[in-house]
Chain A
Amino acid sequence: MAEEAKFKCLRCNHEYTDSYDPDKIEERSCPKCGSNSVRRLKEEASKG
């Protein structure tokens, strides 16, 4: 099932939370600038 994870855009530095399914690889784009350079911040995710 999908859980929540923190993401950071490596283009505009915007950080946000979004649903995340560890079994699925999805195309992500930053809700602020639209870039695909979106990195999941793992430390945050492991708390969930």
Chain B
Amino acid sequence: MDDGNHGEELRIGVYVCDCGRNIAGTVDCGVVTEFAQGLPHVVIASNDKYTCSEPGQEVIKQHIREHNLNRVVVASCSPRMHEPTFRAAIQQAGLNPYLLEMANLREHCSWVHINEPEAATRKAMDLVKMAVWRAALLREQKELEVPVERKALVIGGGIAGIQASLDLANAGYQVYLVEKEPSIGGIMAQIDKTYPTMDCSI
């Protein structure tokens, strides 16, 4: 493996999450944690019931400070689910949020190999290894800040578009409401009385 550590000593922390029984019901998280501990640059590997919980995040933050961690690998659910959570957590402990890597042990492993616990555990170890090797090469990134135009476009002038336009306009934003037909109103305008109030639609 390339040790491209960008000129610093790599200190990786790995956090294997049970997700209650969601992961630990299939994958042997103890074995995975032990395996992670033996991977290059891993300073500490720890196993938690719910890594995304407040105490779970607290453990990561504490370790970053105590062990001078400079990379964090969380082996839990899909990054599409909790990457923002853990990025924020490591940022609070002073690490650049891009120094986080996740291994998807839940959606891509425990939930889809329920009847093959041993194979699932082997796969989980691979996923953690992939994440650790990648984490070793991650770099700090700076996010670009852009100004936001304080105007909104609403496409469609039915009941939903009307409500959204009024809410935004009343909140103080300029709203452009684009409607295909010559009048707003949509399907709702064609309806006589509406449930549950049994009153007029327009």
Q: Do chains A and B touch in the complex (CB under 8 A)?
A: no
